Structure 1
Amino acid sequence: MAAACGNERSIILFVLLLWGVGLYGTRARALSRETMALLSIKALIIDEGGHLDSWTTAGADLSSAAPCSWKGVACNDSQAVVSLDISGFNLSGSLSPSVGLLSSLVNLSVACNNLSGPLPIEVTQLEDLRYLNISNNLFNGVFPRNFSMLRQLQVLDAFNNNFTGELPLELSLLTGLEHLHLGGNFFSGIIHPQYGNLQSLRYLALSGNGLTGRIPPQLGNLQNLQYMYIGYYNVFEGGIPAEIGRLSNLVRLDIANSCLGGTIPPVLGSLTNLDSLFLQTNNLVGPIPSELGNLTHLKSLDLSNNRLTGTIPAELAALQKLELLNLFLNDLHGGIPSYIGDLPNLQVLTLWENRFEGLIPQHLGRNGQLLEVDLSSNSFTGPIPPDLCKGGKLKRLILLRNRFYGPIPAGLGSCTKLYRLRLGENQLIGPLPPGILALPYISLLEAPSNNLSGTLPAHIPISSSLGSLDLTGNNFEGPLPSSIGNLRQIVDLYLSDNRFSGSIPEAVGKLRNIAKVSLSGNMLTGSMPLALSKCESLTSLDLSRNRLHGEILPQLSNLNVLASLNLSRNNFSGSIPSTLTHMVTLTSADFSFNNLSGIIPSEGQFANFNHTSFDGNPLLCGRQVSCKDVNILNPSEDVPRQSKSLIYGMSGLVVGLFILTVGAIVYVLRNERDKQFLWSLFKVNLLDKRWKLTAFERLDFNVNNVLYCLEDDNVIGKGGSGTVYKGMMPNGKMVAIKKLPAIRKGALEDEDYGFSAEMQTLGNIRHRHIVRLLGCCSNYDTNLLIYEYMPNGSLGELLHGPRGGSLTWAARFRIAREAAMGLCYLHHDCTPMIVHRDVKSNNILLDSNYEAHVADFGLARTLHDAGKSESMSSVAGSYGYIAPEYAYTLKINEKSDIYSFGVVLLELLTGRRPIEPEYGECIDIARWVRKQGQSKKGAIEVVDARMGLGETSKMMQEAMLFLNVALQCIADMPDQRPTMREVVQLLTDIPKAREHVVSATIPHVSSPPDLISI
């Protein structure tokens, strides 16, 4: 087939050449050959933006129709095409082999488009080519050979494509090459030692592939090299070769996220021209070399997320140009040297999760340059430095989980750029600094578990930014001011365990975005304000342990998304409103220790509530207490006969009117024209609502373009998280639109879910294997999330649908690894880490090349402490994928995702769903595989027979190793599961490890955990 395709290309080029030679003279021949070559290139390109409209010979004499005036084309004095630059034109399609006819081409750039297919080998015929940029496209397949023919080539940029196979060895012959960027592809194998022969190289980027082996010491021969990027998803053995220290011209060295071991070579201190050194997220051990103090031009030093020990060397005081110092997630100890506060350009200082102690230099921040400081989870003590925001630039200050004492610096109250302040779990005293609640960008203000005191300001100005306020566990007192209603964007309000008194102001009804309210453990009095029933986004309401009285509001049933309600230990009286039984979202409720009376409802969710939810109410009956006289305990049950007749009559009237209305609509809709008329009226109403479009990248469409796609014919999916539509934008680009109710608009913090969780998660991250969120539209009723469209749907639909049998082992293995890389990014490269909480095959989407993208972040949570569990109010996720400890204890951490991913791996391997009747009662795929695979034969039999691997094939050996990875992921005890980074590594190692497979028997797996041991 390949030979046939090659012959076909040769014939096309030959015909074009004959056509040009046969029609024109010498100069005309050259012009028409290039003209026809360009028209051939255009013919294989989809140009929806019309950028290539000038590429036409209509109305022109071909003998003089030189293409030099065409957009993106440039010629030399002889009218020969020497430059073709069509980058950033939003083109799709493929690049024609006719590009090889542009024999004088020096510059070829097709970057930043959506071109796909293989890169034509004819490119290697352009002997004068010096600049080739094909970055940010979808080119795939093996990189063309014969690149050694391009001896004039100086720049080769193929960043962010889908090339596979090993790095091209032939490139090592291009001794004139100055810029080589092959990052963001799927190259495998090693970095060839011969790349050390590229003596002219100034820029080398191989990051973001799947390279293995050792970093060749021969790279130390690249004496002209200024930029080296070789990390991220490349997994190198050994450590950093000392020969890298010979690269005296190096300005930037980035070997982050590469599983590097060993120590940091002291010889790196000889790279005196370095301005950036990035070695984060590796397995480096030992101390920070004092020789790094020689890097006097250094601006950025990131050694975070390793296993470094020792103290911060005194020699780093010489780094007077340092702007960023990241040392978090190590095992460093000692104090912060005083010179850190003297660094004149320091902007970012992050030292969290180490064993640092002692005082912080009190002059830290006096340089007026600080943007971010995170010293959390250490043992620092003493006062917080007063001048952290002296320059007014500070944006993030995270000091939680230390032993700071004294007041919060007053200067933070005028820190106008500050948007995130976390001071919890210290020993701070005194009031909140004046003005801190009015900062224009403050979105998160946390100071729980301190000894703060005072009152909330009586006049809180209207705030459009504060999304989360947590003052839990302090000594605040006085009333809650009515001006609290000015916090219009507040989502989480935690004021529990203080000394607030007085009534809850009606102004809380203005908090239309509020999702969580916790006022428990105060001295609040009065009745429950009716305004609470207007907080339609409320999901959790905790008013427990106060002195509230009166009846429970029946109008709480208006809170359509309320999941948790705690009114315990107050003085509420009357009956539990029957309207609350209609709240299908209510999964947790506590009415204990009040003065309630009447019958405990047994309908709806109330049937699932534990009897302890109603303890301490002597006049309540219906659970463990018998109701001898229902009419006395619940007089509403004794309705007079006349009233009943009136009720029945009114009900009949309502039903009759409803039937008439439906009949009229049916009659009208018999006419197709009337349908269109009614639909147009609906759309006008829809478009007239106040919509806000938030874009996360440059968009070529508006809100109305999105709304017009919300038709039933465009529905491509429905589920608990919303309805998904497909739609074509005016530029021809397909998008997917998820429609959600307006639940959490504006949410910003840890317990977010639904619209807010997905928007905040996807809007702030970019990764090749995470579905891309383009933007969102919202009004008071509806939220719309707009994604890149995935034409091949979900892995679950493909795997378990009619086409599942055509999914080869190679494709399944690749999808597994790509999805693992996406989850690895969430767990290890996001700060704080993101736990997906709903990993399943239906949430892994496939693009046009069947590349995997993790999707649906409606249940995602951020965790600030890796490895530590956090409690949830209820179990969320999908049956068959939920980790056992989560189901038992409602506690999650990143290991919950890893269990779910292990189930996905079993799906890929077996071709079966997580739950199937043939497994047996109460048995899921995890237990079934363990049961079936206690022998070699049984292990092989669980593999999807549709793949036809054969019992002794190398692919079956890979499948058995794949099965072992899956079983490690679904270990019952969370601490026995690998990390997501280790999963990526295990999957990456499978092809080379298959040669060492000794047995295909599934190893022994521990029995389900004892509930007490969790």
Structure 2
Amino acid sequence: MSKMTSPFSKLPLSFFYFITLMPFHVISQFPATTADQTTLLNLKKLWQSPPWTASWNSSSSPCTWPEIQCTAGTVTGLLLHDKNIMDTIPPSVCDLKNLTMLDLSYNYLQGDFPKVLYNCFGLQHLDLSQNFFVGPIPSDIDQLSSLQFINVGGNNFSGEIPPAISRLPELRTLYLYQNQFNGTVPIEIGNLANLVNLGMAYNTMLSPSIIPIEFGNLKKLEFLWMTMTNLIGKIPENFGNLSSLQHLDLAINNLDVQSSTNLIGLDMSMNNLTGSIPSDFGKLNQLKVMILYSNQLSGELPPSIGQIPALETFRVFTNKLNGTLPQEFGLHSKLQYFEISDNQFTGDLPQNLCAGKTLFGVAASSNSLTGTVPESLGNCQALRSVQLFNNNFSGEVPLGLWTSRNLSSLMLSNNSLSGTLPSQLAWNLSLVEISNNQFSGPIPTGIGSWASLVEFKASNNQFTGPIPVQITALSQLSNLLLDGNSLSGELPSTIMSWKSLTSLNLARNKLWGQIPAFFGSLPDLLILDLSENQFSATVILTVFAARDYRRKKIKRDLAVWKLTSFQRFDFTKKIILSGLTENNLIGSGGSGKIYNIAVNNLGDCVAVKKIWSNGKSDHKLEKEFLAEVEILGTIRHSNIVKLLCCISSDDSKLLVYEYMEKQSLDKWLHGKKRTSSATVLSSLVHHAELNWPTRLQIAVGAAQGLCYMHHDCSPPIIHRDVKSSNILLDSEFKAKIADFGLAKILAKSDVPNTMSAVAGSIGYFAPEYAYTRKVNEKIDVYSFGVVLLELVTGREPNDGDEHTSLAEWAWRQYGEGNSIAHTFDKDINEPHYLEEMTTVYKLGLACTMTQPSSRPSMKEVSQILRRCGPIEGSEGKKAQREYDVAPLLDSATYLSSYRRSDEDDDSVACIV
């Protein structure tokens, strides 16, 4: 499924600030009062004159200071967002008698809710979000009786949400998201008659509760965000009265559906919704996105749904919907995504899905649809993916569909389609699945022009004639399934050119002649089936004899191997041991070899690390093996590679991990620099560089894995060899920490924190290794800082200059006072990412401080990185959803003023 940015993600928190704060954004042209100036200068003194107060002085008016807003010559706003404030809020703030707005978001404020603000009698806007406050929201919070906006999201507040919030009559915006509140959703919020925006998402400790029927009284409500708040039951019927509602996100709950009229986006996926889709949904004329997938919805689609004039995305897959599809889909709106797979629909696919010329994807697989594939899809140049498998379609495929210029996947298996194959395909088409149909005729010689083809699955059709020699020109071909046809003739002699082929099935045809001897030289071939043909018997007997010998040998070997499992899996040790061949070898290093082994016919793979065994180093490697088993066998985190099992004998050790398709971050960042020819690189290193959003995603994921090890494991675990080659990437570039052979568990009674030897890799060594073996988790922080610098600059860890490391080089660049933007990787140095890249660069510097105590913790590092980009969901069933309807946290970042001492002189570099 294609990834698509949520339309609501374009409405950041700043949008709501703007709407809410319009009355306050009046900058006075008059000088502020002397009393206000005195108060602010006292605040500066209390906070020890931080750098951002440099303009605060007695010779200028506070109304000219960047952090101050004035109205008619008096201070009305104090905007201290992201100022690294760690002190408490002094009572003297309320000496600003006309203060109406106080923004303290994205700082390091701690402790209980600041009741000192009760003396700010005119306070209308209060933002305490993204700090470290704890404890309950006070039961007398209604003393802030003038509040119109309050945001306490992204803290650690706990306890029940007090009913007193409902006694703030002017309140228009209430954000309580991402805290640890318990109890139920308070019904009293329904009394806030002026409420426009309500965000309570990601309060996972709330007790299961229904949406209060009283919320139906919020007639001015435009924005409701309650993702992951343990909601159950039905949506109140009086939600239909919420005539102003525009944005509704109730995802990841256990809800049951009704409607509202001004919505432009509706996401109620992965709930437990039952019943039919209300016909009133067809009245949502402004609706662009309707996402209801993975529920228990049944019944027919109301015809009015297909007539919504703004509808762009329609996703209802994995439900129990039935009946025929409204033929109006696509006629009234510029439809982009139409996804109805895994339901019970019958009849024709709508004929005009691409009438708006903007259709990117159709997914209608696993239904009972009949008729022909709509001709209009053949004229849809925007199409990227068509998934119609497991239906009852018949007739020929529209010719234009084969050649649609942007199409990358065409999946039509298990239908009754007929006709012949075209001589040309879309240049971008990499996946063609047409098995179990009635296609006939020869495989065209023009198949050699299908240059991007990776998988061609055409089993059980009626193809005839020889296998054309031109098919062997497809250098990227990985899976070729032509079994169950009527192909004849000899195999092409140029099969040896299929260097990427992993699976070849030509069974049940009429092929004859010799089986080419060079089948054994195809480096990646894992699955070969030539049965039920007319090949030379002597060759087949030889193949079977060799296979029988190997099978008996494996059986003898199995007896001496012991398997210890840590996760559920569906393969045997026989499969693993038989896969330890040179053809499956994908890497080797100081401690062993790494194999990529397919464990079933579906192509699912695991990674197997075989520990070296060579005499003197056996004791050391045994320790590494035991360390990895001890740690990975007991911890569970989505950003740490899974150890599935270990298999051991007297003289060999195997560790079996989940396979990470994209392999290591190191190869993506530096692979091209280490080879003289890009063609020598494996398919891992693709044409495009890692873009900045992907690099930031990787940094966030790796940081979360290390944060878990340092802060959530008891006792804590330090990795001791954090580096880009030990950060592995899955098919979606999700980062996972790997290789725990050098890791240590801290504070264990029988294991001192003093390391017996230096661990780690050159370029990533923390400087304290030079003078002590008594180290802590801050050595991981230092190494991770180097990884961050690699991500931003594209340089290798030892790629400074004049024999300096990357960290030393980065510090010198920063210390010279020049713009650091010139150090950024030129391949990703785009202006709109400059702020995020600068923050990550500075964070890399903070992590590589000389003194361990000056470095941030991995928890702080993780928080900073997450604030650089869009909010991520929980690690639960909907992490990293394609649509996150209301990512309220804006992209502002913060960074503590860490200082690094320079032993060569007494200067300090201050990162702000």
TM-score, normalised to structure 1's length? 0.51
Contact kept, 8 Å, 2:663 with 2:728, in 1: the verdict is no
Contact kept, 8 Å, 1:457 with 1:481, in 2: the verdict is no
Partner Cα distance (1:905, 1:268) in 2: 52
What amino acid does structure 2 have at the position aligned with 1:479? T
Partner Cα distance (2:320, 2:123) in 1: 51
Structure 1 residue aligned with 2:454: 515
Partner Cα distance (2:369, 2:176) in 1: 45
Whether 1:235 and 2:180 are equivalent positions in the alignment is yes
Question: Residues 442 and 460 (structure 1 numbering): CA distance in 2 closer, same or farther, change over 3 Å?
Answer: closer
* Partner residue of 1:104 out of 61, 78, 99: 61
Structure 2 residue aligned with 1:302: 249
Partner Cα distance (2:676, 2:121) in 1: 55
Question: Residues 434 and 981 (structure 1 numbering): CA distance in 2 closer, same or farther, change over 3 Å?
Answer: closer
Question: Residues 626 and 150 (structure 1 numbering): CA distance in 2 closer, same or farther, change over 3 Å?
Answer: same
What amino acid does structure 1 have at the position aligned with 2:308? N
The more displaced of 416-425 and 520-529 is 520-529
Structure 1 residue aligned with 2:767: none
What amino acid does structure 1 have at the position aligned with 2:322? T
Partner Cα distance (1:188, 1:904) in 2: 37
Partner Cα distance (1:553, 1:590) in 2: 16
The more displaced of 490-499 and 508-517 is 508-517
Structure 2 residue aligned with 1:95: 51
Deviation readout 1:121-175 (Å, 9 max, x if unpaired): xx9xxx965444455x584756655573463443344555666666545445434
Structure 2 residue aligned with 1:970: none
Q: How far off its partner does 1:268 sit?
A: 0.8
Question: Residues 172 and 578 (structure 1 numbering): CA distance in 2 closer, same or farther, change over 3 Å?
Answer: farther
Whether 1:859 and 2:745 are equivalent positions in the alignment is no
Structure 1 residue aligned with 2:355: 414
Aligned ranges 1:385-404 → 2 under 5 Å: 385-404=326-345
Partner Cα distance (2:750, 2:724) in 1: 18
Runs of 5+ in structure 2 lacking a partner? 1-26, 41-49, 551-661, 757-772, 778-873, 880-912
Q: How far off its partner does 1:265 sit?
A: 0.9
What amino acid does structure 2 have at the position aligned with 1:435? S
Q: How far off its partner does 1:431 sit?
A: 0.9
Q: Provide the secondary structure at the position in 2 that maps to 1:220.
A: helix
Deviation readout 1:260-300 (Å, 9 max, x if unpaired): 32111111111110112222323111222122222122223
* Partner residue of 1:148 out of 93, 107, 112: 93
* Partner residue of 1:202 out of 143, 148, 168: 148
CA RMSD, Structure 1 to Structure 2 (Å) = 5.2
Q: Provide the secondary structure at the position in 2 that maps to 1:213.
A: strand
Q: Provide the secondary structure at the position in 2 that maps to 1:473.
A: coil
Contact kept, 8 Å, 1:225 with 1:250, in 2: the verdict is yes
Structure 2 residue aligned with 1:623: 546
Whether 1:540 and 2:496 are equivalent positions in the alignment is no
Question: Residues 439 and 582 (structure 1 numbering): CA distance in 2 closer, same or farther, change over 3 Å?
Answer: same
Partner Cα distance (2:711, 2:264) in 1: 42
Q: How far off its partner does 1:472 sit?
A: 1.3
Partner Cα distance (1:287, 1:739) in 2: 63
Q: How far off its partner does 1:366 sit?
A: 1.8
Whether 1:248 and 2:146 are equivalent positions in the alignment is no
Q: How far off its partner does 1:774 sit?
A: 1.4
Runs of 5+ in structure 1 lacking a partner? 1-73, 85-93, 112-122, 601-616, 628-717, 728-735, 746-752, 763-772, 776-784, 800-808, 820-839, 847-853, 863-875, 882-902, 919-943, 949-978, 985-1014
What amino acid does structure 2 have at the position aligned with 1:238? G
Q: Percent identity of the aligned residues?
A: 26
Q: Provide the secondary structure at the position in 1 that maps to 2:280.
A: helix
TM-score, normalised to structure 2's length? 0.57
Question: Residues 454 and 740 (structure 1 numbering): CA distance in 2 closer, same or farther, change over 3 Å?
Answer: farther
Question: Residues 203 and 374 (structure 1 numbering): CA distance in 2 closer, same or farther, change over 3 Å?
Answer: same
Question: Residues 202 and 458 (structure 1 numbering): CA distance in 2 closer, same or farther, change over 3 Å?
Answer: same
Structure 1 residue aligned with 2:123: 177
* Partner residue of 1:284 out of 222, 231, 235: 231
Contact kept, 8 Å, 1:725 with 1:738, in 2: the verdict is no
Contact kept, 8 Å, 2:378 with 2:399, in 1: the verdict is no
Structure 2 residue aligned with 1:293: 240
Structure 2 residue aligned with 1:774: 692
What amino acid does structure 2 have at the position aligned with 1:267? E
Q: Provide the secondary structure at the position in 2 that maps to 1:623.
A: helix
What amino acid does structure 2 have at the position aligned with 1:458? L
* Partner residue of 1:323 out of 264, 270, 282: 264
The number of residue pairs the alignment matches comes to 607
Partner Cα distance (1:911, 1:540) in 2: 53
Contact kept, 8 Å, 1:178 with 1:200, in 2: the verdict is yes
Structure 1 residue aligned with 2:273: 332
Aligned ranges 1:531-930 → 2 under 5 Å: 531-553=470-492, 555-597=494-536, 617=540, 620-624=543-547, 723-725=667-669, 773-774=691-692, 812-813=710-711, 856-860=728-732
Q: Provide the secondary structure at the position in 2 that maps to 1:228.
A: strand
Partner Cα distance (1:395, 1:301) in 2: 21
Contact kept, 8 Å, 1:526 with 1:550, in 2: the verdict is yes
Question: Residues 597 and 256 (structure 1 numbering): CA distance in 2 closer, same or farther, change over 3 Å?
Answer: farther
Q: Provide the secondary structure at the position in 2 that maps to 1:414.
A: coil
Deviation readout 1:51-81 (Å, 9 max, x if unpaired): xxxxxxxxxxxxxxxxxxxxxxx99577999
Contact kept, 8 Å, 1:794 with 1:841, in 2: the verdict is no
Q: Provide the secondary structure at the position in 2 that maps to 1:445.
A: strand
What amino acid does structure 2 have at the position aligned with 1:240? V
Structure 1 residue aligned with 2:221: 274
Contact kept, 8 Å, 1:371 with 1:396, in 2: the verdict is yes
Structure 2 residue aligned with 1:434: 375
Q: How far off its partner does 1:719 sit?
A: 6.4
Q: How far off its partner does 1:528 sit?
A: 3.0
Question: Residues 552 and 142 (structure 1 numbering): CA distance in 2 closer, same or farther, change over 3 Å?
Answer: farther
Q: Provide the secondary structure at the position in 2 that maps to 1:363.
A: helix
Contact kept, 8 Å, 2:240 with 2:261, in 1: the verdict is no
Contact kept, 8 Å, 1:737 with 1:787, in 2: the verdict is no
Partner Cα distance (1:239, 1:574) in 2: 75
Contact kept, 8 Å, 1:172 with 1:194, in 2: the verdict is no
Deviation readout 1:657-676 (Å, 9 max, x if unpaired): xxxxxxxxxxxxxxxxxxxx
* Partner residue of 2:434 out of 492, 495, 502: 495
Partner Cα distance (1:226, 1:442) in 2: 43
Contact kept, 8 Å, 2:668 with 2:685, in 1: the verdict is no
Q: How far off its partner does 1:911 sit?
A: 13
Partner Cα distance (1:338, 1:497) in 2: 38
Aligned ranges 1:12-161 → 2 under 5 Å: 95-96=51-52, 98-101=54-57, 104-106=61-63, 109=66, 129-133=75-79, 135=81, 139=84, 141=86, 145=90, 148-149=93-94, 151=96, 152-159=98-105
Question: Residues 549 and 812 (structure 1 numbering): CA distance in 2 closer, same or farther, change over 3 Å?
Answer: same
Partner Cα distance (1:526, 1:338) in 2: 53
What amino acid does structure 1 have at the position aligned with 2:214? V
Contact kept, 8 Å, 2:219 with 2:243, in 1: the verdict is yes
What amino acid does structure 2 have at the position aligned with 1:264? I
Q: Provide the secondary structure at the position in 2 that maps to 1:548.
A: strand
Structure 1 residue aligned with 2:468: 529
Deviation readout 1:402-448 (Å, 9 max, x if unpaired): 11111111111434122121111111001111131442322221111
Higher relative contact order (CA 8 A, sep 6+): 2
Question: Residues 583 and 394 (structure 1 numbering): CA distance in 2 closer, same or farther, change over 3 Å?
Answer: same
Partner Cα distance (1:186, 1:795) in 2: 18
Q: How far off its partner does 1:330 sit?
A: 2.4
Aligned ranges 1:920-999 → 2 under 5 Å: 980-981=875-876
Question: Residues 210 and 580 (structure 1 numbering): CA distance in 2 closer, same or farther, change over 3 Å?
Answer: farther
Structure 2 residue aligned with 1:475: 416
Q: Provide the secondary structure at the position in 2 that maps to 1:496.
A: coil
What amino acid does structure 2 have at the position aligned with 1:245? G
Q: How far off its partner does 1:478 sit?
A: 1.3
What amino acid does structure 2 have at the position aligned with 1:302? D
Q: Which has the larger radius of gyration?
A: 1
